[in-house]
C-alpha cells in the first residue's frame, strides 16, 4: 500500500489508532524508501526475514511465451 501511493491514507488511519498497539507489515520485497516510511509508523520494530539469497535449487523455473491472439490456459 505504501509503495502504491497510499502513504497519506495510511498516515490518516494510523493517526486514528491508539499509540500503543501491535502493528504488522508484510512484504515480499522491501526497498529502503519503504523501510523508512514503515519506521515512521513503528516503535521498536522487529524485522523477521526468511531466506534472502537466490531461489532454491530444488525449484524449477521456466518461461512460457504465448503469442498474441492465442488462448491462454
Residue 39 in contact with residue 2, Cβ under 8 Å?
Answer: no
**Residue 37 forms part of a structural domain:** yes
pLDDT, tens digit only, all 73 positions of the chain: 566 677 788 888 888 988 888 888 887 777 888 788 888 888 888 888 776 666 667 777 788 887 877 676 6
Expressed as residue numbers, the domain containing 3 is 1-51
Which residue shows C-alpha cell 525449484?
59
Asked whether the beta carbons of 39 and 32 are under 8 A apart, the reply is no
Residue 66 lies in a domain: no
pTM score = 0.47
**Is 10 among the domain residues?**
yes
Residue 68 lies in a domain: no
What pLDDT score does 45 carry?
83
On whether the CB atoms of residues 2 and 10 are closer than 8 A, the answer is: yes
Per the CB < 8 A criterion, the answer to whether 48 and 61 are in contact is: no
Domains held by the chain: number: 1
Contact residues for 2 (Cβ-Cβ < 8 A; gap 6+): 10, 34, 37, 38
Q: Which residue has the cell 523455473?
A: 61
Amino acid at each position: 500500500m505504501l509503495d502504491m501511493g497510499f502513504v497519506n491514507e495510511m498516515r490518516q488511519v494510523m493517526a486514528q489508532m491508539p499509540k500503543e498497539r501491535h502493528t504488522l507489515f508484510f512484504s515480499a520485497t522491501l526497498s529502503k524508501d519503504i523501510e523508512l516510511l514503515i519506521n515512521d509508523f513503528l516503535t521498536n520494530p522487529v524485522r523477521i526475514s526468511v531466506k534472502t539469497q537466490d531461489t532454491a535449487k530444488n525449484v524449477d523455473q521456466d518461461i512460457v511465451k504465448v503469442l498474441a491472439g492465442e488462448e491462454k490456459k
